[in-house]
Amino acid sequence: MDIPEILDITVVEESLKGDVLLEKFGGLPMGGHLVLNHDRDPRPLYFRLLEHSGRNFTWKPLESGPEVWRVKVGKRTHQDREGSIGQIIINDPRKVAVFKELGIDFSCGGARTLTEACELLQLDVEKVDLKLKGELPAIAYPEMDFLHWDTGFFCKYLINLHHGYVRANLPFLLEMCAKIARSYGTKYTELREVNTLVRQATEGLTANMEQEETFLFPYLTDMAYALKSGTRLAAPATGSITAVIHLMEANHERVYDAFLKIRQLTKCYQPPNYVTHGFRILYKILQEFENDLQLHLHLENNILFPAAIQNENELRFRQLQYGPPL
């Protein structure tokens, strides 16, 4: 039986904790694990690993405070990726309904296997598998073959539909959050935190969209064109688009984390009894906003970004064969 290495990060100087974790993780074989020990919530280290390695690792909490935190960290295998939550939905979009019903994250958590996701939420994987194999509702939008879309068209679709949705609805959402928090925050104190979380999430989401539209999406479009036309393309100033994508994935998860907390604070968007129509409208808008966000991040994290990394790898291989770009 493989006994994972214990990394006691508490004895490491604060400024070096992230670097030490990255070094130890980098030395793991595919499918290998280590156990991280800490004296506080290691979530910041999770994001450091996510920014550096993308979603190519597993993160399984073993003990969660209040004095000791232990996490089993592993390096994903190719088989993990093939059986991921994201891949399950790509193969059958109707299964989104089951994951939503059970609270399984398929947008930022799409790299997890079904077993991982069930362990995280303490669900019976066999029962969940039965639900996935049972009768499923029709999807609310036309089924689209996203996997085979041209990358440039995919980027335009995301900008027009999902970025457009955010920009169209964000001003009203922020206004309603602030108004309801002012009016009812004394009695329903969770509304103040909801208002803060909405502002944090939307600031992060707006910054992400700006970066995607000004740099990432145009470059992904140029990569796809270079592959189709056989032309050459210089590497971005960052050296690799993969590094930018890993940062975007981490930013996506920070935004999604905020909405996860909002969902918990609002009891899955169920307003209290005997509240005003405006109060109920706010909860409805929040739920609709999260629904769009889940699909938006699923399309980017689970389909567009892996395709972009594959395109970059193909261009690098071609460059090795035919020389550097002109």
Which of 75, 92, 117 delimits the end of a domain? 75
Q: What is the pTM of this model?
A: 0.91
247 and 124 in a single domain? The answer is no
196 and 68 in a single domain? The answer is no
Is residue 140 included in any domain, yes or no?
Answer: no
Amino acid 6: pLDDT: 94
Amino acid 234: pLDDT: 79
Is residue 141 included in any domain, yes or no?
Answer: no
Strands 57-64 and 69-75: antiparallel
Is residue 222 included in any domain, yes or no?
Answer: yes
12 and 100 in a single domain? The answer is no
Is residue 139 included in any domain, yes or no?
Answer: no
161 and 173 in a single domain? The answer is yes
- Please give the Cα distance from 36 to 42 (Å, whole number): 9
Is residue 138 included in any domain, yes or no?
Answer: no
196 and 301 in a single domain? The answer is yes
193 and 301 in a single domain? The answer is yes
Q: How many structural domains comprise the chain?
A: 3
- Which residue, 78, 84, 39, 33, is CA-closest to 59? 33
What is the mean pLDDT of each successive set of 10 residues along the chain, which is 326 residues long? 84 95 95 94 96 94 93 87 87 92 94 93 94 84 80 95 96 96 94 97 96 95 90 79 94 96 96 93 96 95 94 82 54
122 and 183 in a single domain? The answer is no
Is residue 177 included in any domain, yes or no?
Answer: yes
Is residue 109 included in any domain, yes or no?
Answer: yes
255 and 273 in a single domain? The answer is yes
Amino acid 2: pLDDT: 65
84 and 63 in a single domain? The answer is no
Amino acid at the residue 192: R
State the residue range of the domain holding 54. 5-75
Burial of 198 from C-beta contacts in 10 A (0-12 / 13-18 / 19+): buried
103 and 220 in a single domain? The answer is no
Amino acid 230: pLDDT: 84
What tokens were used for 252? 């996506």
What CATH number does residue 54 fall under? 3.30.110.40
What tokens were used for 25? 């993780």
The C-alpha angle with vertex 241 and arms to 236 and 243, in degrees rounded to 5, equals 120
Is residue 257 included in any domain, yes or no?
Answer: yes
For residues 64, 68, 69 and 75, what is the CA-based torsion angle, rounded to 10 degrees? Answer: -140
Amino acid 326: pLDDT: 39
67 and 93 in a single domain? The answer is no
209 and 179 in a single domain? The answer is yes
